Each structure stands twice: as structure tokens, then as C-alpha cells.
Structure 1
Amino acid sequence: METTHVVVLVLYLAGLVATGLWFSRTKKVSTGDDFIFAGRQLPTIVMVGTLIATWVGSGTIIGGASFVYSYGPLAAIIFFGSGPVGMLVLYFLAQRIRVSESYTVPQILELRFGISVRMLAAIITVLAYVGIVAYQFTGGGNIISIVTGLTPGQGAIIATAIITFLALGGGLKSVAWSDFFSAVIIVVGLIIAVPVVLGQTDGFTGWWENLPDTHQNFSGGLSALALLGYFLPTFLLIISDQNMYQRLGASRDPAAARRSMAGMFFASFLIYAPVTILATAAVTLMPDGNPDDAVLGLAGDGTLPVLLGALILASALAFIITTGSSFLLSVGGNIVYDGFARFTDKPLSDRKRLLIHRITILVIAVLAYVLGTFFPTVLQLQMYSYTVYGVALVPALMAAFFWRRATTAGVLASMGLGVVVTIVWEQAANSDLNAVVVSLPVAVVTLLLVSLVTKPKTTALPEEQVEQNA
């Protein structure tokens, strides 16, 4: 245990808690829109920071680094490429998303397909997002364990408490500003770490030549279908991620939403490239290491200067914490807006919405912590949660935006069958292929076939309104 690491980590966490306390004040968060949309007043640069920090959690710092360590930097181009490709899709959808002013993704689906689709989508979102929150708890526990010497389980308890507190406090305002500062620090830390680590591998020459043969090609020893199985879950998640939709909805206007997504696209390479380089170097510098600790291990074992390692560990934990808080906040919104607010006879007051939202966050945090104890690795839970959510919602969302012939029956059948096939494949199939390779085609074909034999509704998303407000 390095004292400097512990001191920096504690100070960083104290700063996050202070941010949460500041924005939890009543005058900062007094309405439901304040809590979930930050009053739609976030500056563009803060929007970019919160978008990238929400996306880059333990799925990148731990799960992504684990993939790079296991399969090499060229295969990582395919793995990490899913994020930027999805960001490009969202760039072209950003104005539509902002104009819709929807609180949740299921709410958008109801505009086209009715209440039954909204309810099924809400249930699936809750199911998947609890899993995503769970692996943020697990990832945060791993970092705390590296720094303090506590067990990962004990670290997960601390991570759970802080993540839940931030979500309960100031909502998106506290999460967004915490995201922004964390994004700046970890980008700077990762960029500085690259030449330091390469200096210990004799530069890029040693960095490359010391790799096993399987790590020096684009497949990484995986089949094409296996690589596709790693690409698709992340791609599907980002283009349907409710966090992305809510943050774009929090932008000041449709044009700002598009600018924010463009900024996120370019900023993502400042994360993905250093993580890939550092995790690849770990193959040489830590040949017997744990893949989950490929980047974090370099920061914690003395490979990096003590202060730099401390900053990377602290900001990586902050990314995980704010990502977890974002997903908690988001899934709480499903319970509030897709559940209570949708079915109450009278509109909920702001006070009741805030109270229900906060109680829901507490309940979901407990469920996520319990779920995290059943999955041995972050990468495994990551792929499972991404697939359940993406397979169910992406075909439905794309149909809502682009295919007027889609029907409610087709969407319901697609969503339901997609989830069932994913769960059955993960639990029963004896295969190295991720379920998405099977369940996504099933969901898409089902949507097409059932829609073509059933009658569509005439309702369409208000594209004319989008164009007028662009």
C-alpha cells in the first residue's frame, strides 16, 4: 500500500462528496428537471465532459483493458471502435433527441408504438441497467482494493456508498460537473503515462516485438464471429443508451446537442488510445498479471511515478463512480416517469417526484450490489448487460426513427424474443460466442416479419418539429 496513493484517493473522493453536497442544496435542485436534466443549462464543454465520463467507466478502464491484455492492440481497434461508430450515429440523431424532450427512452418509443412498448422497454432498461450499475460497483471495489489493501468486496461496499450518495444528492448537476473535472484529469494523466510506460518497453519497438504472436494480428486469436460478439454489444448500447439521450436532452438547444456529441467523438480517442497502449505494455511488464488490472496495475505497482499513478487510480475510480451514479439516476427515472408519473391520476408534484426518484435509487443500488457478487469478472457482466439492453431497444428505436411501416406487434415481438434468446444463450449454450451474434439477428428479423404482416399505427415521431428547431 502506497501512502501517496491513499492520500490522493481520499482527497479525490472527498472532492466528489463535496460536489454532491453542494448541488444537493434545495436551491440547486428543486424540480424534477433540475434533478434529471440539470435545468437544461449545462455548458457545451461540461456536456462533452459528462458524456465521455459517463461512457468511459469500468467498461473501458477495466473491461476494455482486460480485452486488450488478452487479445492485443489490433483486436482492440475493433473492440473500442464500436464506441466512436455509435457516437457518429448519435451525432445525426442528436437534434431529434433534444427536440423530443423525453425523460426516458421508453417514453420516445411510446410516441410511435404505444404504452405496451413503453412498459416492456422500461422493464428491460431496469433489468439491464441494474447489471451495468453492478459492474461499476465491482470495478470501483477493484481500484479501492489496489490502493488501500482492502479486499475487492470491501472496496465494492465503499464504491456502492459513494456512487449512491452522488446519485441521491444533486442529480445530473453534481454528476455532470464531477464528470467534467474527472475527464480532464484522467485524459491528462493517461497521456502523460504513455511515454513513461513506453520508456520501460524500449519504445514502440519493444512494445510491439515482445507481444505473443496472437496479439500481433487483428483477430487476437478470436474468430470473426467472436470479434463481432465483442463489437456489437457496446455499439448497440451507446446508440440506445438512455444516459446519452438524457444528457443530449439536458443541452441548451438542438444545435448544442449536436456539438456536444461531436466533442464526445473526438474526446473518446484521448481515452481509447492511451488505454490500448498502456494495457498492451502491461502484457510485457506484467506477464502474469490479472487482465482486469492491466492499466490499474501499472498505476499501482510502481511502474508509473507515484503521483502520476495516484492521479490515474483516483480519476479512474471517479469515472467509475460517476458512471455508476449516472446509470442509477437514469434507471431511477424509468421508475418515476415510466411508472409512477405515467399512471397516476394527478400530476406528481416536484417534491414527490424527487422523493420517489431518490427512494428508487436506494432500492436499485442494493439490488445492483447483490447482483455484482454473482459475476466473476467485469467483462462478463459488461457483455451480458449491454446485450440485453441493446438487442431489445436498438431495433425498436431505429424503427421508431426511420421505418414508418414498423408496428407495435412487431416491436413487442422483437424486444421480447431478443431478451429471451440472449438469456437462454448465455445460460444454456456451450459456446465462446457472445449472445448478441445470435439474438440481434433474431430480434431484427422478428421485427421485420411481424411488422409486415400486421397493421401499423399512423403515429410518427415529429420530424417536422425537429427540422424547425434545428
Structure 2
Amino acid sequence: MQTTHLVILAVYILAMLGIALFFLRSGKLRGGDDFLFAGRSLPRPVMIATMLVTWVGSGTIIGGANFAYTYGPMAGLVFFAGTPLGILVLLLAARRIRRASRHTIPELLEVRFGIGVRTVAAVVTTIAFLGLTASQFVGGGYVVSLVTPLSATQGTVLIAVVVTLLTISGGLFSVAYTDFVSAILIVLGLFMALPLVFAAVGGPGAYWDGLPEQARTFSGGLSALQLLGYFLPLFLLLLADQNMYQRLAAAKDEREARSSTTGMLFGSFFVFIPVVLLATAAAVLMPGINGDMAVLSLASEGYLPAVLGGLILAGAVAFVITTGSSYMLSGASNVAYDLYARFVGDRVSERRKLVVQRLSVLGIALAGLALSLYFPTVLELQMYSYTVYGAAITPVVLSVLFWKRATTAGAVAALVVGAATTIGWQLAGTPGGLNGVIVALPAALVALVVASLLTKAPDPERVAAAVAAPDTDQPGTVSDASGTAADAGGTKA
């Protein structure tokens, strides 16, 4: 433990809590919509930053670093390739996605498939987001244990408390602006660390020669199916991630949303590439360590100056806090809009929705802490969570946008089969060393297609309504006093 690291981490956490306190006292939160969409007033730099660091949490700096450390730089780049490829797909479909936007993904599914599908989707989404939240808590606990006398478990609890306070206090306002500060810290720290770490290795030639033999291959020693099993979950999650849809719903207009998506695309390379290079350099400098700690150990074990090491560690906590708060916020919206408001009554006040969202954040935090005790590594936890969402939710969302023949029975079948197969595969111990997505995604797609073709084709008017701008006069739809829902709605990216 270094005093410099501790001071930098403490200053960062206090600064984040200060931003949260500012928005708590600012009076900007007038209801559930403001809590979720930040008044649809986020400027472009803040939009780009919040999208970027929301997406690249502990799954990048810890889970992704573990993968690169274990399997090498080329396999590591394949692992992360799902993000830019997913963003490109979404840019091509951005206009269609924007027209179909709602508060939550399950709300979108209700328009096409009915309330039953919305309820099932809300439960599946919440399960996936619990796992994603838990992975951030675990990752933060690792960092805190390196910098303070606390154990990893105690650090996990501390991070859970900080993330919960940040989310409850200001909703997306506090989350987005802390994301902006965190993005600057993260990118700056990673790029400053690269030349110093490669100098410690002895240069590019020594780096390549020092890698294990299998780490110098394209697949890192994995079979094609195993490598695909690591690529697909990230790609599928991004294609229909409710969290990202809601981020873009907070943009001022469609132009800002598309520009922010493009900014995220380019910004992602400034995070993933340094993480892969740093993690694989750690494999040369520190063989045999826990892969989760690859980048973090470079900062804590004296390979970087104390101040820069402190920035890297604070940046890792920034990843955790921003992504954890985002998934907690998004999961709370499922409880408030898809379950509470939908079944209690359409005339629930915005103030009441705000209270429900805040209570939901607290519940998600407690459940996430419990789940964090089940999975031994961040990488395993994130693969499970990505697959639950990507295999179950993504096929159904894409069918709303691109397949008119999909029916309610097909949607329910895909949701149930995708989620059940993922959970069952995990409980069975991932047979053959394959991640659940290799089995769960085909199973969900077959269930969607077969059940749809065996049942009556949907009403064409309902199909058209699902991809049209929502009626702002109807309860529970996205509205904006300054324009149409099409202008304010969110695409994902």
C-alpha cells in the first residue's frame, strides 16, 4: 500500500460524491423521467464520455485484462472486437432504433408482443443487470484491497455503498457528469502508462519474445468455438443494451445521439487497445499472477511512478463506479416502469416513480452483493451476465426491428429458452469449456423462429406501431416538452 495511491483514490471518490451531492441539492430531479434521462439535456462531450465509460467497466480493466493476460494480444483484440462491430451495426440501424425507442426495452417489446412478454423481459433484464452490477462491485473490491488495508470482500462492500449513493442521489445527472470526469482520468492514465511499461519490458521485441508461445497465436490456444464464445456475449449485449438505449434517449436530439455514437466508436479504441497491451505486458513482467489483477498490478507493484499508478488505480475504480451506477439505474427503471407503474396503474405520479426507482437501486445493490459471492472471477461473472441478456433479449429486440413475422409465442419462447439455457449451462459447469452463448443463442433463435412460424402471424398494425415513434399522450411513453419522442428517443450504440 502506498500513501500516494490512497490519497489519489480518496480524492477521486470524494470528488464523485461531491458531484452527486450537487445534483441532489440542485432541484433538477422533478420525477422519474429526469432521474432516468437527465432532462434530455446532456451535451455531446458528456454524452460520448458517459456512453464510453458506461460500456467499459470492470469487464474491461479486470475481466478483459484477464482474458488478454491469459490468451495473448490477438485473442484479446478478438474479445474486444464486439464493441466496435456492434456500434457499426447500430449506426446502420440508428434511425429505425430511434423511432422505436421507449423508456425500457421491455416497454418496447410490449408494443409488439403484449404485456406478458414485457413482464418476462423485465425479469430477464433485471437478472442480467444484477450480474453486471455485481461484477463492478467485485472489480472495485480488488482495487480497494490493493490500495487500502481492507480485504477484497470489504472493498466490495465499500464500492457497493459508494455506487449506490451516487446513483440514488442524482440519477443520470450525477452518473453522466461523473462519467465525464472519469473518462478523462481513464484515457489519460492508460496512455501515459503504455510507454513506461514497454520500457520496463525492454521494448516491443522483448515484449513479443517474452510472451508464452500460445499467446503469440491468433486464438491464444483456444478452439474457434471457444474464442467465438468470448466474442459473442459482448457483441450481442451491445446490440440491444437497454442501458445504452437510455443513454442516447438523454441526448438533446437525433443529431447529438448519432454524433455521440460515432464518438463512442472512436473512443473505444483509446481504451481497449491500451488495456490489451498493458495486460499482455504484465504477462511478460509478472507471469503466474491472478489475471484479474494484470493491469492493476502494474500500477501497484512499482512498474509505474506512484502518481501515475494512483491514476490507473483511480481510473479502475472510475470504470467500476460509472458502469455499476449505470446498470443499477437501468435495472431500477425496469422495476419502476415495467413492473410497478405497469401493474399499479398508469396514473402513477412522476414523483412516486422517482421514489420507486431509488428504492429499486437499493434492492439491486443488495442482490448484487449477494451474487458477487457466487462467482470467483469478474470474467466468469461478466460472461454469464452478458449471455443472459444477449441470448435471451437481443434476438427478440432485433425481431421487433427487422422481422415482421415474429409472434408473441416466439418472443416468449426465445426469452425463456435463452435465459434458462444460459443459467442451466452455468450450473452444469460450462461443459466442454464453452461459454453458454454457444448453446443458448442458437437455442433462443430456433425457439423464436419455430414458435413464430407455428402460430398466427401478428397484426400488421401492431407490427408498424412497434417501430413508430411512441404516442406522447399515452402513459409510460417517452415524451419531451421540446419535441417529439422521435427527436428525443434513444438509440443504442
User: Matches of 2:3 and 2:142 in 1, distance apart?
Assistant: 18
Task: Quote the sequence identity (%).
Answer: 50
- Other structure's SS at 1:84 match: helix
User: Matches of 2:180 and 2:80 in 1, distance apart?
Assistant: 21
Task: Specify every segment of 5 or more residues in structure 2 that has no aligned partner in the other structure, as ranges.
Answer: 471-483, 488-493
| Paired amino acid for 1:460 | V
CA shift digits 1:135-177 (9 cap, x unpaired): 1110000000011131100101110000000110100010001
- Other structure's SS at 1:24 match: helix
Deviates more, 1:365-374 or 1:417-426: 417-426
Paired position in structure 2 for 1:401 = 401
| Paired amino acid for 2:432 | S
Runs of 4+ that moved beyond 3 A: 93-101, 461-470
CA 1:218 to 1:339, structure 2 compared with 1: closer, same or farther past 3 Å?
same
- Other structure's SS at 2:200 match: coil
User: Matches of 1:291 and 1:95 in 2, distance apart?
Assistant: 40
CA shift digits 1:221-276 (9 cap, x unpaired): 10000001001111111111111010011111122211111110100000001001
8 Å Cα contact 2:99-2:468 kept in structure 1: no
Q: How many residues align?
A: 470
Paired position in structure 1 for 2:16 = 16
> What is the CA-CA distance between 1:430 and the residue it aligns to?
3.0
Q: 1:213-228 to 2 correspondence within 5 Å? A: 213-228=213-228
User: Matches of 2:270 and 2:26 in 1, distance apart?
Assistant: 36
Asked whether 1:29 is paired with 2:29, we answer yes
Paired position in structure 1 for 2:323 = 323
Task: Specify every segment of 5 or more residues in structure 1 that has no aligned partner in the other structure, as ranges.
Answer: none
| Paired amino acid for 1:306 | A
Q: 1:11-410 to 2 correspondence within 5 Å? A: 11-25=11-25, 27-410=27-410
8 Å Cα contact 2:103-2:246 kept in structure 1: yes
| Paired amino acid for 2:454 | V
CA shift digits 1:46-99 (9 cap, x unpaired): 111000010010000000000000000011121000111111122233334444
CA shift digits 1:176-217 (9 cap, x unpaired): 010111011110110111011111112111111111110001
User: Matches of 2:339 and 2:362 in 1, distance apart?
Assistant: 17
Q: TM-score, normalised by structure 1?
A: 0.97
| Paired amino acid for 1:449 | V
User: Matches of 1:464 and 1:169 in 2, distance apart?
Assistant: 34
> What is the CA-CA distance between 1:345 and the residue it aligns to?
3.1
Paired position in structure 1 for 2:474 = none
> What is the CA-CA distance between 1:461 and the residue it aligns to?
4.6
User: Matches of 1:426 and 1:118 in 2, distance apart?
Assistant: 25
Deviates more, 1:215-224 or 1:97-106: 97-106
Deviates more, 1:2-11 or 1:180-189: 180-189
Asked whether 1:437 is paired with 2:470, we answer no
- Other structure's SS at 1:169 match: helix
Q: TM-score, normalised by structure 2?
A: 0.93
CA 1:461 to 1:309, structure 2 compared with 1: closer, same or farther past 3 Å?
farther
User: Matches of 1:120 and 1:461 in 2, distance apart?
Assistant: 22
8 Å Cα contact 1:79-1:230 kept in structure 2: yes
> What is the CA-CA distance between 1:468 and the residue it aligns to?
11
CA 1:433 to 1:232, structure 2 compared with 1: closer, same or farther past 3 Å?
same
Asked whether 1:460 is paired with 2:463, we answer yes
> What is the CA-CA distance between 1:431 and the residue it aligns to?
2.2
Deviates more, 1:434-443 or 1:88-97: 88-97
8 Å Cα contact 1:97-1:248 kept in structure 2: no
CA 1:172 to 1:253, structure 2 compared with 1: closer, same or farther past 3 Å?
same
User: Matches of 1:225 and 1:196 in 2, distance apart?
Assistant: 36
User: Matches of 1:298 and 1:102 in 2, distance apart?
Assistant: 43
